[in-house]
Chains A and B, each alone.
Chain A
Amino acid sequence: MRIKVGVDVGGTFTDTVVSAGSELIRAKAYSTKDVTSGILAVLGRAREQLELDEATFFGSIEKFVLGNTIVTNVIDELRFPSVGLLTTAGFKDTLRIARSNRGPSRDAHANSAPPEIVDRRRIAEVAERVDVEGVVLRELDREQARAAIAGLLDQGVEAIAICFLWSFKNPANEQAAAALVRELAPDLPVTLSSELAPVYREYERMVTTVLDAACKPVVAEHFAQLDAALRERGLRSGLKLMQVDGGFLSVDEAGKTPIKMFNSGPVGGVEGARRLGDQLGLRRVVTADMGGTSFDAAIISDGAYRVLPRAEMGQFPTALTAVDISSIGAGGGSIAWIDSRGLMRVGPTSAGSVPGPACYARGGEEPTVTDATVAMGLIDPGYFLGGTIALDRDRARAAIERVATPLRYDVDEAAAGIYRLTTVQMANAIRALTVNRGHDPREFTMVSFGGACGLFAAEIARECDVARLVVPAAASVFSAFGLLHSDSIFTAVQTTPWSFAQSAEELERAFAALEARVQEWFGADQIAPDARELVREADMKFAGQVFEVTSQLPATAFTDDLKAAVRERFVADYEAEFGEGTAWTEAEVLVTNTRVKGIGRFGAGDPAPVKLLLDDDGGQRRREIVEPMTGRRREVEVHRGLPLGERRAGPCIVEEPDTNLYVPDGAAIERDAQANYIIDLPARG
C-alpha cells in the first residue's frame, strides 16, 4: 500500500489526513509542547483506523508534508533566542524608525513603538556601503566587523542577522561579514538579507532577516527531534515542510530559510480549497476559516490563489512573498463587550485557549462567540467533538447575561446579537477581498473549513451575497487535507530594475541566473525529472507607481520579440486587479523584481473520497434553537451526518463528531458523491 500523509500542527489540535490506497482517513489529537508527541499520537490514531502495524505504516509512507505553528508562534509571541544584527554604519535605527510605525488608531495610548526584535545592545554598525547600482562605495571594514561580531558573541547571541543597504545588488560586503562570523563561530546560525530576501526596501528586509535568524535555532531543535523520531519508526521518505508561498520543501532546504514556514497551516487550507475548487469545477472560490482567535479568508481565481509580495507577518511587514490570506481578529474565543456608547462590540480581545470560553468551564467568565452558539442551542453541549468534551450551557448563558443586562436584552437576544456582529465582521472582511479586486461576490463559491466555521458560514455567505457554500468532507482537518495534496515549490527572486527600452538580453541574464538556482534545488531535493516545472514571473508597474503587479512570462528564453506580448499581459493583469480602463496606458512599464518558481508536481490525480463518519440512528432529532439572525426561538431538525446524495431543506442543523453546520431558513443542503456538503443560499431581500 502507498501512503501519503498531511499533518497540520495547530495551537490546540494536531490534525492529519492520510491517503492509503483508495481511502482518506482523518484524525485529530491534542497538540503538545514538544510538537513531536502530538504528531506521533495523531498518526497512531490514523494507523489504528487502517489496522496497520507501525513498521508497515511508516515504511509505506511515500509523501509526508507538515504544516506547523512553530514559526508562527515564535513570531506572534516574539519569544526567541537572542539575535545579533550587523547593519550599515548610520542606519542602526532602521528597526526603531520602522517607516513611522504609527498605526491606524486615534488613541495615542495605542500608538507605541514597534516591539524590539533585537536588543539595541546587539545591533552593531559597521563601515560599509553599496549604492543603488551595486557599486561598492566602501568595502567592509573587516577589523571593525570582526570586533563587532566578537562583541555580539560575548553577549551570547544565538544567531546573527546581516542586513546592509543594497546588499542584494552586490552581496560582497554581506558575504565578507558572514565569512567572519563563520570564522569566529563556525556553528552559529547566520542569515544574510541578500540571500533570504534579495529585494529592495531595507526595513522590511531587515525585519525578515532578523526573524529568520531568530527562528533558526528554534527550528533546528524541533525538526532534528521530529526527524529522528519518525525515522526510528521506519519512515524512509524525507519529511517535507510547507512554506508560506504555497509549496513544500525538504527539511534541509526549509531549514535554510525557516521564516518561510510562517503560517504554513492556513496555507495548507488554501491549497486544499484550490484542489477542491478544481475538482468541483469552480472558477472563483473564497475561503473562510474560523479558528479560536482569528478568521482567515483568501481568494482563488481560475485555479490559482494570489501570491503577494511584502507579506505581513504578525505585526510586521516583511520582504517575503506569501499566499495572500486576510486575517481579522475574530474567532470562537472573541469576547463580547459594551463600549462607551453603550453598544455591543465583539473582539478583538479573545479568551484564548486559557481560560477559554465560559462554556468550557475552565474559569472563563467573559461571554465569547462560542458561548453564544452554545447558548443558542446551535451546538449540542453533549455532542461537541462527538461528545468527547462536555460543554456547560448554563455557564455560557450566565456569561451572555453580562452583556444582555446593559443592553436590556434577554439572553437569547444578546447571544443572537453576538452571532450577528461576528457574522457581519467576517462578511465585511470577505467583501474587502472580493469587491476591491473588482469581482462581484455573486460569482464566488465559499469554501468553509475550520471547526467553528460551519455554524456561521451560511450567514456570512448570505451577508456578502455569495450564493453557494461548500463545506468539504474533511472540513475539520482541511489544512492537513491541503498539505497532503500539495506540490513542492522553490522560489528564487531578485530585484532587477529593467524597462522595455532596455535590451531583452539584460532581463534574460537575470532569469537565467535565477533558473540556475532553481535547477540546483531540483537536484538537491531530488525532484523527479518528469515532475519538474519552471514558471517565470516579473513584478511590474507603470513608471511613477509604487506597487507592483505580478505577471507570468513565457517559460522560454526572453527575447526582444516577446516584449509586446509581455507588456500586453501585464496590462491585462493590472486591469484584472484594478478594473477595466485603470491602466496608465500613457506611462512606461517597469520591471522591479524577477522571479523563477521551480515546481515539483506531487499531487496528481483527484483526491480519494473521504471516509464517512455517520452516526445517524435513523430517528428524527429535533431541537429548539435561537434563530441567529432573528433572535427568535424555533424548533429545527438535527441530522447526524447526511448520506451521500441526500438533500435537506433549511432551517436545520447537521452534526458530525467534528463538524457542526447550520443551514438557515430558505437554504438547502446536499451531500455530493465526494461527501462534501453543498449549501445553496437564497438571494437576500
Chain B
Amino acid sequence: MSTIDTAAPTAPRGAQAHDPVTLEVIRMRLDAIVDEMAIAMMRSSGSPVITESGDFNTALFDAEGRIYAYSNYVQFHIGSASVALRGLLDAVPLEEMRPGDAFISNDSHTAGSTHPPDVSVISPIFHDGRVVGFAQSQAHLLDIGGMNPGGFAPSAVDCFAEALRMPPGVKCYDAGEPVESVRRMIVNNVRLPVPFWNDVRSLVASNNTGARRLAATIDEFGADTFARYAELALEAARQVVAERIGRLPDGVYEASEWQEGDGKVADLLEIHCRMTVDGERLTFDFSGSSPQVAGFVNCSYGALVGSVASGMNPVLAWDLPFNQGVLGPVEILAAEASIVNPDVPAPASNGHLTVGGRVTRLVTLLLNRVVERSDDPELRGRAQGIWADSWTGGISAGTRTDDGEYFVLFNMDGGLMGAGAQATGDGLDGSGMTTQISNMVPDVEMNELMYPVLYLWKRVDAATGGPGAQRGGLGVDYAWTLRRCDEVLHTVFCPCAQVPAGGYGGAYPGGGGEQSILREVDVDGAFARGEAADPERLAPRETELLELVQQGLTIRAGDVFRQRIAGGGGYGDPLLRDPAAVAADVRDGYVTAAAAEAAYGVALDGEGAVDQAGTERLRARARAERLGREPAAVAIRSLAELRRGEQGAGSLCQRGGDGWECRVCGTGLGAGEEWAEGAVLRRTRAAERLGELGVRVRPNDAVRLDEHLCPGCGTALDVRVTVERAA
C-alpha cells in the first residue's frame, strides 16, 4: 500500500528531458481548441437543447482514440465518444480517410451513444498527409425518427422501434462536401429534417475548427515535439489520479443501486458494483447487475463509462484538465447483455438518465466509503452527499390553436434536481446531474414564448433537500396549464421517486420526484382569487398522481401539469447542523418549520429565532427516539470540533487503540472489522421514516432506511437506503 506523499509538489516526475512550461502551453492550447469548437457549435446551432441547456460535448482525440482534451459540458460522452471513435477505427481503415471527411453515428449498441438523439460527428485530422487525431462533436438533436417525437420511447420493445440507428463509419461529409445519398436517407427518417441537417452542419463546423487548429498547433511545435508533449500531458494527469488512488486503502467495496422499473414492469432493477482498490489501480466491476430488460432504461456501455467518469472526476480529478490520462488507472467491467452493457435488440433511449444516473450515484457512494478511510485530508474532503442524478422528463406534443403549428415541448426544466451536500457547504439547488457540467434551463418566458403553456409557479421544493449538517440541494417544483392550445399528448418519466439519493456521514436522503395532473382547474378563477400559485387552493376535480413512466396521457385546457423534481442527499447528522442555519433555512423557505423540529431538532420562537433551550430538548428527544431509549452519553461534540480543522466532519466513526468509537460522544463501537457491527441498527420503511422528517419519497415497501446509530448518543453515523430483494 502506498503512503502519503507529504513533500511539496515537484516537477513532473521522470521528466527532466522536457520543458514544463511548453507542456502546459500545449495543454492550454488543446483545451482552448475544444472550447473554440464548443463556441462554434453553440453560436451556429439553432437547437435550444444545445444553446439553452448545454447538452453537447466537443473533444479532440489522438489517432489511437485516446482523449487529448474534452470541453466542460456534459461528461457522459467521455464514454460514448470513446466508444464511437473505436467503432470508427474498426469500421474504416485510416488509409481510406481523407481531409474533410466526417462520420456520423448515434447507435447505442455499436457506437456507444448515450441514447439515439445524441448524435456524434467525428472528423479525422490530417498533418503531412497522415491522420494525427480526430475532432469529435456530439449534441442532443431534437428528433431522430422512431416511434416517438424527441427520441424517448417508453413503449418500444427493441432498439429498431426507437430511432434511426447509425453505426460507426457512416460518412456524412466526403472531402468537405455533404454526402447527398446519406443526407437524403437520414432526413427522410426524422420529423424535423431541416433543423436536423442544420445541426449536423454545426457539428461539422465545430470539427473543422478543431481540425484546423490542431493541425496548426502541430505545425507550430513540430510533429515529434507535439506527439511527445501530448503523451506527457496524458501521463501527468494519469500520475495524479494514480497517486490519489494510491492514497486510498486497498480493499474491495460493494454496493447496489436500484432502477425504479423499466416503464413496463415496476420491479426495482439492481445495479451492482464491486469496486477494487489495488495499489494505484481502481476497478469498477458491474457484473451482478440486472440482465438487460425490455424497457428503455438499458444503459449503453458508452453511457456506463461516461457515468463512471462523471462520478469519479469530482473525487479524484476535480482539479485536472480532463484527458485520457485521468482514466488511465481505471478499469470498468460489465457483463454483456446486462442493463449496463446491453446487446441488440435492447431498447436504450433513456438508459443514460436512469440507469446511467444510478451508476454515477453508485460510484459516488463507493468512493465515499473509501476516501473517508484515506489518510489524506484532501481526499477525505471529497466525500459528499449523493446527487439526485436522475432526469425528470415531461414531453408534450400538440397543435397550437392560434397559428395551427404542431410543436413538441421537451421541457429542459427537468434538469432542476438537487446536488448532494458537500464538505464545504449545502448542496446546490437545481444543479442538474453530476454529469451535466454547465447545466442550464430556460427562462419561464422562453418556454411561454415558444410553447402554448402558462406557468403557475416555479420554485424550490423544501420536501426534497436531504437533512444533514450540510443540507442536500433542493429540487424544483413547477406547474403549467395550456394556453392557446386545447390538448397535448403527454409522456412522463420520473426516475427517482422511491429509492432516493442517500446522504453521507449520518445525513439523510433527499426527496424523490413526483408528477401529477390536476384535472379541470378553474385557472381564471384561481387568478381572480389570487390563489393561482398555491397548489393547495387550485380545487381540481381530481388530482392524478402519475406512474413513474407513463405515455399516452392527455392534458387538456384547464388541466394543470405539475412536476416535482428530486433533491440531493445531505452531509453529516442533521442534529449537528448549526441551529442558526436551520432558522435561516426556515425563514428562507428551504426547510419547513415542521421539518426543522423533526429532522433537525431545532425549535424556533415566535419571531423565527432559535429557541436554545427548546432546541436542546428537541435534540435530546430525537436521539432518544432514534434509539428507543434514553441515550447514555451526555457530552456531544459540536460540528466545529468534529471538523478537526478540515472542510467537513467526515466520517463520525474512528478507529482508536481499543477498536472503533463514535467521534461525537466517544462511545466504543467494538473491535470488529466494521464499526457498524457495534452500532445500533434502526430499520424502517424509507417513505414512512423520511416522511416524518419532512422528506417526500414515494412508498415502496421493499425500500428501507437503515439508520446506523451510536449506542451511546444516538447520533446517526451512517444512513443507508437499502432494498429488500424479492424472495
Listed in ascending order, the chain A residues whose CB lies under 8 Å from chain B are 89-94, 96-109, 111-113, 120-121, 125, 127, 129, 131-132, 137-138, 141, 144, 165-166, 200-204, 338-345, 406-409, 416-417, 420-421, 424-425, 428, 431-432, 435-436, 497, 541-542, 544-547, 577-579, 582, 584, 586-587, 684-685
Contact = CB atoms under 8 A, between A and B. Distances in A.
Given A97-B416, A104-B438, A343-B23, A138 B528 contact: yes
A407 B20 contact: yes
Interface stretch (B84-92, B101-109, B354-362, B456-464): B456-464
B628 interface: no
B392 interface: no
B440 A99 contact: yes
Contact of A100 (B23, B46, B195, B441): B441
Interface of B: 8-13, 16, 20-21, 23-25, 27-29, 32, 35-36, 39-40, 43-48, 51-52, 72, 75, 194-195, 198, 201, 205, 209, 213, 219-220, 236-237, 239-240, 313-314, 317-320, 322, 381, 384, 415-416, 419-420, 422-426, 428-432, 434, 436-446, 448-449, 454-460, 476, 483, 524, 527-528, 530, 532-533, 587-589, 647
A137 B483 CA distance: 12
Nearest to B313: A106
Contact of B46 (A104, A202, A542): A542
Contact of B445 (A201, A341, A420): A201
Contacts of B25: 420-421, 424
Given A200-B446, A408-B16, A546-B52, 20 more contacts: A90-B532, A91-B455, A91-B458, A93-B458, A100-B415, A100-B416, A106-B75, A107-B314, A108-B314, A109-B424, A132-B445, A165-B445, A339-B319, A341-B236, A407-B11, A420-B25, A428-B29, A432-B36, A436-B40, A587-B195
B55 to A, nearest CB: 12
Nearest to A126: B530
Contacts of B425: 112
Nearest to B322: A106
B431 A106 contact: no
Contact of A120 (B28, B527, B589): B589
Given A105-B72, A435-B36, A141 B28 contact: no
Contacts of A406: 8-11
Nearest to A119: B588
Contact of B439 (A102, A113, A201, A685): A102
Contact of B205 (A94, A97, A102, A582): A582
B440 A100 contact: yes
A257 B101 CA distance: 52
A428 B28 contact: yes
A59 B239 CA distance: 70
Nearest to B587: A121
Contacts of B27: 343
Nearest to A542: B46
A97 B437 CA distance: 16
B480 to A, nearest CB: 11
Contact of B532 (A129, A203, A421): A129
A496 B633 CA distance: 69
A421 B46 contact: no
Contacts of A202: 443-445
A243 B483 CA distance: 40
Contacts of A546: 46, 48, 51-52, 446
Contacts of B415: 100
Given A131-B483, A584-B46, A102 B459 contact: no
Top 3 A-B pairs ranked by shortest CB distance? Answer: A90-B533, A90-B457, A127-B530
Nearest to B321: A341
B717 to A, nearest CB: 23
Contacts of A101: 428
Contact of B239 (A203, A341, A584): A341
A424 B239 CA distance: 25
Contacts of B533: 89-91, 125, 127
A463 to B, nearest CB: 9
Nearest to B433: A102
B691 to A, nearest CB: 24
Nearest to A581: B201
A594 B62 CA distance: 47
11 contacts: A90-B458, A109-B422, A109-B424, A340-B319, A341-B239, A408-B11, A428-B28, A544-B47, A546-B446, A578-B44, A685-B220
Contacts of B75: 106
Contacts of A103: 438
B431 A107 contact: no
A424 B28 contact: yes
Most buried by A among B446, B524, B530: B530
B46 A343 contact: no
A161 B478 CA distance: 24
Contact of A166 (B205, B445, B647): B445
Given A96-B429, A99-B442, A89 B532 contact: yes
B194 A586 contact: yes
Contact of A432 (B24, B39, B52): B39
A414 to B, nearest CB: 9
A204 B25 CA distance: 36
A90 B459 contact: yes
Nearest to B527: A138
Contacts of A425: 28
Given A406-B8, A579-B205, A92 B459 contact: yes
Contacts of B318: 105-109
Most buried by A among B21, B27, B198: B21
A342 B9 contact: yes
Nearest to A577: B43
A345 B587 CA distance: 43
B200 to A, nearest CB: 12
B466 to A, nearest CB: 15
B431 A111 contact: yes
Nearest to B479: A90
B419 A108 contact: yes
A132 B459 CA distance: 20
Contacts of A107: 314, 318-319
Nearest to A501: B403
Contacts of B423: 109
B314 to A, nearest CB: 4
Contacts of B39: 432, 436
Given A200-B449, A338-B9, A102 B194 contact: no
B430 A435 contact: no
A201 B446 contact: yes
Nearest to B24: A343
A370 B133 CA distance: 38
Given A497-B449, A546-B51, A93 B460 contact: yes
Contacts of B44: 578-579, 582
Nearest to B314: A108
A183 B194 CA distance: 55
A201 B443 contact: yes
A94 to B, nearest CB: 8
Contact of B240 (A94, A340, A417): A340
A546 B428 CA distance: 27
A204 B443 contact: yes
Nearest to A200: B445
B180 to A, nearest CB: 15
A679 B582 CA distance: 62
B58 to A, nearest CB: 12
Contacts of B476: 93, 97
B532 A108 contact: no
B557 to A, nearest CB: 14
Nearest to B456: A90
A99 B524 CA distance: 28
A132 to B, nearest CB: 5
A428 B43 contact: no
Contact of B429 (A113, A428, A541): A113
A341 B240 CA distance: 6
A125 B420 CA distance: 29
A100 B428 CA distance: 9
